[in-house]
Structure 1
Amino acid sequence: MIITNITAIKDFIILGFPGLDPMYYGPVSTLLFFTYMAILVGNVFILVFVGVERHLHKPTYLIFCHMAMNDLLFGTVTLPKIISRYWWNDKITSFAACFTQMFFVHSLGAIQSLLLLIMALDRFIAVCFPLKYPVLITNNIVSMACGLSWIGTFLRMMAVVYHALTLPYCNSNIIVQCYCDHNSVVSLGCGGDVKYVQTVAFSLAMFSLLLPLSFIIFSFISIFVVVLRIGNAEGRYKTLSTCTPQLLISCLYFMPRCFVYLTNYIGFKFRLDIHILLILLYSLLPCAVNPFIYCFKTQYIKDVLMKRLKNAKVGMKLYSNA
């Protein structure tokens, strides 16, 4: 990461939750540690499980793998530093490390939005155009779409971060957040271009959020219309159940973000600690919860998992009786 020679700040201080009493540092860091363990174990399990089970080498589960990789990386990029901040009072991060973290935080967030779009497209074609699904949605096509989402977003975020690097940073070096994000860092810049840099980044963020969201809403409305036209209740339930994981995951990602953006737009202000907690929750909760949704709301994964567990129990009984 390039460091501009016009900056006077050499490192940043991660403040975390401003109003948190030091007596709660231990419990908070422990909670964040177990959250990271849940993200790590859950998403690594999905990656290994889908990789090992050849029956799951299908487009839908390939998208799940990309989602799991994204969630795993996001948790790894954000949580270790804030855990060390409250566990060992390690609150200083270098200028380069902060901008690197900012790059990955926003890249992975934007990639998640695009992966949800691809996931919605997968279900839209499966339900609305089932005969064309095997042709339009293949492993190769999904891999290309997901790969382009990763590469295109990383290139775009390089431009966003470079734009932020053009600012001189000579004000406070205290970041009132649990990790380095664009708004918290750029607000520490000085000069007349700060507002312009923030506006450009916000516009790109809204584009990355609202464009996929618009298609996702359209796709699920179309799916519900098709489901309502199905003659029998069993068919409606079976078709709708194939879309439940995607719907839950999309709601977990988009609804809290839209709520926070909407409240800011209408002028409703949360307390600073509450605002930071909301951002942390909607950023990390999906990363920890998504693997459980994949396993328990996707019938095929659940069936394969239960079969594996039954075989393991039988094997243990045979071994103990031997």
Structure 2
Amino acid sequence: MQEVNHSSVAEFILVGFSAFPHLQLLFFVLILLMYLFTLLGNLLIMATVGSERSLHTPMYLFLCALSISEILYTLAIIPRMLADLLAARRAISLQACASQMFFSFTFGFTHSFLLTVMGYDRYVAICHPLRYPVLMSPRGCARLVAWAWAGGSVMGMVVTVSIFHLTFCGSNEIHHFACHVPPLLKLACGSDVPGVALGVGLVCITALLGCFLLILLSYAFIVAAILRIPSAGGRHKAFSTCASHLTVVIVHYGFASVIYLKPKGPHYQEGDTLMATTYTVLTPFLSPIIFSLRNKELKVAMKRTFLSTLYPEKI
């Protein structure tokens, strides 16, 4: 990654949850438990998809890639957040801050791109079932996943280089638990700050809104195709293959919109910190739960994999 710009600020102080001193131990326990569950849930999904040959289909391979991106996204932010909740001094170097921003944006955007790819997969499966083996061939699936990861890396690099090309002066307190763009922009000085803020905002919103609109378009065609199925059982079966993905999309973009589109009040800094945990901690926590509970085939396979691990002699 490109070396960060020289600045009068050598390190930042992550204010985090310091506005709630009596609740930090409670936050630590809750976030730690949710983080461990997130890791175990995604690892179990990956192990299940890898061990069950019946799940070696594009839909579940994309889900496996989504679990990997989710693990890496939380790894970029939550361990540092947990350490800071117990630390007396929450200093982070300029280089470490840039690295955290790069990896969190890379894996966050990769997650959004993979959700878009999964929407396209469901569109092809329901609207063009006869062409599905050709359009979603192993090579084609690998190419889509590679493009998602490449796109995430480009977005992470663009955002990080743009922000850390600025000069930081004056206060070094980041009113957040991570190296987040808005609080960092408040610490930057120079005439180019408004232009960078506008450019980064437009790039991020365009990418996320583009993904969301593509998913909506996929589901518009999917709903139209499902409504043409004559039997109620057929319609239910077709929709059940999309239910978990659609629920995760609603949760993912719902929490994101609450964070980024809510009005800024007089105490927005503390509110932003608390609200950001919904996207950073709660959304990854809910994702494996939704996929395992809303997908009967995956739920049965996960149970079989879990039992075979605990009691291999009985399977």
| TM-score category (smaller protein) | over 0.9
Deviates more, 1:184-193 or 1:302-311: 302-311
Instruction: Give the 5 Å matches for 1:216-295.
Output: 216-264=215-263, 271-295=268-292
Displacement of 1:268 in angstroms is: 6.5
Displacement of 1:311 in angstroms is: 6.5
Query: Secondary structure, in 3 states, of the residue corresponding to 1:179?
Result: coil
Instruction: Give the 5 Å matches for 1:52-201.
Output: 52-201=51-200
The gaps in structure 2 that reach 5 residues or longer are none
Q: Aligned equivalents of 1:146 and 1:109: distance in 2?
A: 14
Displacement of 1:132 in angstroms is: 1.0
Q: Aligned equivalents of 2:148 and 2:17: distance in 1?
A: 33
The answer (yes or no) to whether the contact 1:128–1:223 under 8 Å persists in 2 is: yes
Q: Aligned equivalents of 1:317 and 1:165: distance in 2?
A: 56
Q: What corresponds to 1:3 in structure 2?
A: 4
Letter in 1 for 2:288: P
The answer (yes or no) to whether the contact 1:84–1:90 under 8 Å persists in 2 is: no
Letter in 2 for 1:108: F
Q: Aligned equivalents of 1:43 and 1:186: distance in 2?
A: 34
Displacement of 1:221 in angstroms is: 1.9
Query: Secondary structure, in 3 states, of the residue corresponding to 1:187?
Result: helix
Deviates more, 1:237-246 or 1:276-285: 276-285
The answer (yes or no) to whether the contact 2:73–2:104 under 8 Å persists in 1 is: yes
Residues 219-253 of structure 1 deviation map (CA, whole Å, 9 limit, x = unaligned) = 11221122122111111111110100110111111
Q: Aligned equivalents of 2:112 and 2:22: distance in 1?
A: 37
The answer (yes or no) to whether the contact 2:17–2:177 under 8 Å persists in 1 is: yes
Residues 166-201 of structure 1 deviation map (CA, whole Å, 9 limit, x = unaligned) = 211112110111111122222211111111111111
Letter in 1 for 2:41: G
The answer (yes or no) to whether the contact 1:8–1:169 under 8 Å persists in 2 is: yes
The answer (yes or no) to whether the contact 1:263–1:269 under 8 Å persists in 2 is: no
Q: Could you tell me the TM-score, scaled by structure 2's length?
A: 0.92
Q: Aligned equivalents of 1:290 and 1:197: distance in 2?
A: 33
Q: Aligned equivalents of 1:225 and 1:269: distance in 2?
A: 45
The answer (yes or no) to whether the contact 1:18–1:176 under 8 Å persists in 2 is: no
Letter in 2 for 1:295: S
Q: Aligned equivalents of 2:87 and 2:167: distance in 1?
A: 31
290, 294, 299: which is aligned to 1:297?
294
Q: Aligned equivalents of 2:110 and 2:237: distance in 1?
A: 30
Displacement of 1:3 in angstroms is: 3.0
Displacement of 1:315 in angstroms is: 6.4
Q: What corresponds to 1:17 in structure 2?
A: 17
Q: Aligned equivalents of 1:66 and 1:309: distance in 2?
A: 20
Letter in 1 for 2:8: A
Letter in 1 for 2:9: I
CA separation of 1:92 and 1:315: change in aligned 2, threshold 3 A:
closer
Q: When the two structures are aligned, how many residues end up with a matched partner?
A: 314
CA separation of 1:269 and 1:254: change in aligned 2, threshold 3 A:
farther
Percent identity at matched positions?
Answer: 28
The answer (yes or no) to whether the contact 2:48–2:301 under 8 Å persists in 1 is: no
Residues 31-77 of structure 1 deviation map (CA, whole Å, 9 limit, x = unaligned) = 11112111211112212221222222211111111110111011111
Q: Aligned equivalents of 1:106 and 1:270: distance in 2?
A: 26
Q: Aligned equivalents of 1:59 and 1:207: distance in 2?
A: 27
Residues 17-44 of structure 1 deviation map (CA, whole Å, 9 limit, x = unaligned) = 3521x22221111111112111211112
Q: Aligned equivalents of 2:224 and 2:28: distance in 1?
A: 46
Letter in 2 for 1:73: L
Q: Aligned equivalents of 2:219 and 2:203: distance in 1?
A: 25
